[in-house]
């Protein structure tokens, strides 16, 4: 139990569960987190938030990080299929890519009839 004061002059008891350990080579250890993670690293979120305008563009931004992780490199294709499942139109994706590219966060290369190639630029 830990005591927490919500700022109203009162203290309440709050139970804070311990984080589950992760098994590595048969040993139980705590995860080593270099950056906090909320669907993407917070450092990525802080880079895209000043640029995007709305929840659908935020979904595109988080999805771009997901594509980066799945593809295993900073340059990857950005097809419309997954975004369509979430109600994100190709136009919203295109607009978001343009805003992020204009801010220097990504670069894109388009080939007619194919999904654009996106490269996440270093900070």
**Residue at 83 is within a domain:** yes
User: How much is the pLDDT for 39?
Assistant: 80
**Residue at 114 is within a domain:** yes
CATH of the domain at 104: 1.10.10
DSSP structure class, residue 21 = P
Contact (CB, 8 A) for 88 and 79:
no
Q: How far is CA 56 from CA 25, 29, 96, in A?
A: 40, 37, 9
Q: How far is CA 15 from CA 6, 12, 22, in A?
A: 15, 10, 22
26 token code pair: 């048969």
Cα 78 from Cα 12, distance rounded (Å):
48
Tell me the whole-structure pTM to 2 decimals. 0.69
Which range marks the domain in which residue 71 is found?
42-120
Provide the number of structural domains found in the chain.
1
Nearest CA-CA partner of 68 in 31, 24, 100? 100
DSSP for 105-119 reads SEEEE--TTSPPEEE
Cα 114 from Cα 97, distance rounded (Å):
15
In tens, the pLDDT along 1-49 reads: 444 444 555 555 555 444 444 455 555 555 555 556 678 898 999 999 9
Contact (CB, 8 A) for 99 and 52:
yes
Q: Where is average pLDDT lowest: 18-27, 31-40, 85-94, 98-107?
A: 18-27
**Residue at 75 is within a domain:** yes
Region 96-118: mean pLDDT is: 95
How far, rounded to the nearest angstrom, does the alpha carbon of residue 103 sit from its chain's CA centroid? 17
96 or 3: which leads in pLDDT: 96
């Amino acid at each position: 139990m830990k005591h927490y004061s919500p700022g109203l002059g009162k203290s309440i008891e709050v139970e804070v569960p311990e984080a589950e350990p992760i098994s590595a080579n048969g040993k139980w250890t705590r995860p080593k987190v270099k950056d906090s993670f909320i669907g993407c690293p917070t450092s990525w979120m802080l880079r895209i938030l000043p640029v995007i305008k709305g929840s659908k563009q935020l979904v595109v931004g988080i999805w771009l990080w997901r594509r980066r992780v799945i593809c295993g490199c900073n340059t990857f294709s950005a097809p419309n299929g997954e975004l369509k499942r979430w109600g994100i139109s190709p136009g919203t994706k295109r607009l978001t890519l343009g805003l992020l590219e204009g801010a220097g966060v990504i670069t894109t290369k388009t080939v007619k009839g194919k999904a654009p190639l996106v490269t996440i630029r270093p900070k």
